[in-house]
Amino acid sequence: MPATLPRNDDLAEQLELLADLSEILGEESFRVLAYRRAAARIRETPGPVAELALAGKARELPGIGRTIEQKVVEAVQEGEMRALSKRRALVPPGVVDFLRLPGVGPKTAARIWTELGITTLEGLEAAARERRLRNLSGLGPRSEEKILAALAEGAGRRAPAEERALLGRALPAVQRVVEELAAHPAAIAVSEAGSVRRRRETVRDLDLVATSNEPRALIAAFCEAPWVAEIVARGETKATIVDHQGLRFDLRVVAPECFGNVLQHFTGSKEHNVALREEAQRRGLSISEYGVTIVDTGEVVTHASEEELYTYLGYQPIPPELRENAGELEAARRGELPALVELGDLRGELHAHSTWSADGKATIEELARAAKARGLSYLCVTDHSHYLRDGRLEAQWEEIESLEARLGRFRVLRGVEVNIRADGSLDLGDDVLSELDWVVASLHSALDRNPTERVLAAMDNPHVDCIGHLTGRRLLRRPGADIDIERVVERAVETGTALEINSQPDRLDLRDVHARLAGEAGVRIPVTSDAHSTSALAYAELGIAVARRAWLTREQVLNTRPWSHIARPRRR
Ligand code: DGT
Ligand code: CA
Ligand code: CA
Ligand code: ZN
């Protein structure tokens, strides 16, 4: 048996590859689904799944049965799952790379391989250039163009040089570690730092700063924790580890007197810190992570908190989310920083999917009760228009009506998420839209075809209240539509259409800079979860993080208001 157990992300990758290969080989879809579900579960599990599997306990995790557990044991004992080795021998390695190209699913990948005999990205590129792909059913000249464009951007190739993790994955992980370290007897104060503390949408590694009078004991607790897969570096006062999910953590332990200085330094951003230091230099001060040196006298002043440090330097304390050198230092100098919106300010949810949408996991009642438990007072159900044809919308309204009596002081609103078609029209008629409390219109396909014009057309429809996930991007996967944000913001103001911040971890769309622009122009901006399950309502924390990075106050975030304030001025 190998000395080190495979990490959770290694196991998940094996299962995902197994799923891809099985699909290319045309195997039953329920198995493929089971592999993918297990891979997702293993990625999210904090403890080492390999160890659980060896003890026969991995099957206690939801989504993991005896068969998957057996595969994990094989991965531990033989380095690779047998089912994977077997299928790898059947499919040329390059064929799997085809799946990462736009418009290429497993069936198409299989046909490119078996019918055209192409097994590498280079071969695929040549075939697209020579217009040979269009001979396959399901592929046309447009597909060839798209594939060539994607290949030119490096799509399909593995292992991006710099891997980043979604904030939605990093934030719960770092919060758990902060809590665990803070509970250790050797810890005085523990804080997250770096890009995760600034709530950037993706992060490279996770930074932590702690104070202690016994740094060795705290470093030992950190490095020897059960969720640590690998110790990259271990010193007296700092250490770097990788956890079982493949996330990298950097911990620095310092003396309590200079906690403010160190935390400020390692929170960054680098650009913010450079600007802060330059400004201080002009006033005879030199800033480092150890303190502020008064250059004339050589005296070093330390600060136990960031608030003291910023105040000493003549600024209002600056929230971490604003520290990107984007005007925050000037505003803080003048005492004009905005009072940023907080998660607790939200009063309602304006974008959520129930079991009426095929991919929804919770009933309307379950969503409503969960929203109420989160302290909200209204929930707007916005299932996909596609599933609400042929009288189903009316049936949903009946369900909503019967619910209201049972829920007590909580409103459930009739909404919908309509699709903006390739020609800019909506896939529900005005007669239906006019009956609804709230209409979200979103781009879901053909993102490269006149996206700006289509969004503008949707906003011109008086029944559309909000544009959903403006660019349609999927973080770490696809860049999204190239939207002319200035024109969209201008039209949103003219028509009174809201632009949401969608809080799905891989969307965060509007992104921070777009949301800031929209906020400055006076656009009404709801922060929505786009939940497809009760637990996903919690994603609002991520959307609020984006809103804060966009400098937004409570007044600028639409769903901090009660529904009565939103409903009335809605119609123009
Ligand atoms: P990331 O990890 O790429 O998502 O972004 P950050 O901001 O967390 O960057 P990271 O982990 O390299 O460093 C954390 C903070 O520490 C960074 O925002 C500023 C500070 N810092 C790190 N290394 C240096 C350095 O060499 N010089 C300066 N001035 N600051 C540094
Ligand atoms: Ca970092
Ligand atoms: Ca770091
Ligand atoms: Zn949605």
Beta strand 202-203 with 348-352 is unpaired
CATH topology of domain 8-88: DNA polymerase; domain 1 (1.10.150)
Most confident of 26-30, 101-105, 118-122, 297-301: 297-301
Taking the C-alpha atoms of residue 259 and residue 366, their distance in angstroms, rounded to an integer, is: 44
Alpha helix segments (H runs only) across 422-524: 430-433, 451-460, 485-495, 512-521
Ramachandran quadrant class, 103 (left: phi over 0; alpha: psi -120 to 50; beta: rest) = left
Has residue 291 got a pLDDT over 70?
yes
Tokens 């447009």 identify what position? 142
In short, whether 472's Cβ falls inside 6 Å of ligand 1 is no
Give the largest CA-CA distance in the chain: 81
Q: How many angstroms is it from 309 CA to the middle of ligand 3?
A: 22
Domain 165-254 falls under CATH 3.40.50.720? no
Q: Say what the pLDDT of residue 44 is.
A: 85
Query: Which residue's CA is the closest to the ligand 1 atom numbered 15?
Result: 266
The burial class, CB within 10 Å (0-12 / 13-18 / 19+), for 136 is middle
pLDDT tens, position by position, 186-196: 999 999 999 99
Q: What is the pLDDT of residue 157?
A: 63
Q: What is the pLDDT of residue 390?
A: 85
Can you read off the two tokens belonging to residue 482? Answer: 């190239």
Is the confidence at residue 468, as pLDDT, over 60?
yes
| Better-predicted residue by pLDDT, 555 or 105 | 555
Span from the CA of 268 to the centroid of ligand 2 (angstroms)? 9
Contacts of 144 (CB under 8 A, 6+ apart): 128, 131, 133, 134
Q: What is the pLDDT of residue 1?
A: 41
- Residue 134 in contact with ligand 1 by CB distance below 6 A: no
Task: Between 332 and 99, name the one with better pLDDT.
Answer: 332
Pairing of β 291-294 and β 285-288: antiparallel
Q: How many CA atoms lie within 13 A of 139 on its CB side?
A: 27
271 lines ligand 1 (CB under 6 A): no
Q: Is 461 helix (H, G, I), strand (E, B) or coil?
A: coil
Tokens of 61: 């995790």
pLDDT mean across residues, the chain:
93
Q: Domain limits of the chain?
A: 8-88, 93-152, 165-254, 264-334, 343-567
CATH number of the structural domain 264-334: 3.30.210.10
Q: Ligand 1, atom 17: nearest CA belongs to which residue?
A: 268
Architecture of domain 343-567: Alpha-Beta Barrel (3.20)
CA distances from 279 to 85, 333, 361 (A): 59, 11, 53
Instruction: Kindly state if the Cβ of 266 falls inside 6 Å of ligand 1.
Output: yes
CA 400 centroid distance within chain: 30
Whole-angstrom distance, CA of residue 260 vs CA of residue 538? 30
**How many angstroms is it from 402 CA to the middle of ligand 2?**
50
Q: Mapping DSSP to helix (H, G, I), strand (E, B) and coil, where does residue 333 land? A: helix
Same fold, 8-88 and 93-152: yes
Residues across the chain: 572
pLDDT at 139: 84
Which pTM was predicted?
Answer: 0.81
Query: DSSP characters for 74-108?
Result: HHHHHSS-HHHHHHHHHS-HHHHHGGGSTT--HHH
Contact 532, 360 (CB under 8 A): yes
Is the domain covering 93-152 a CATH 1.10.150.20 domain? Answer: yes
Å from CA of 387 to ligand 3 middle: 46
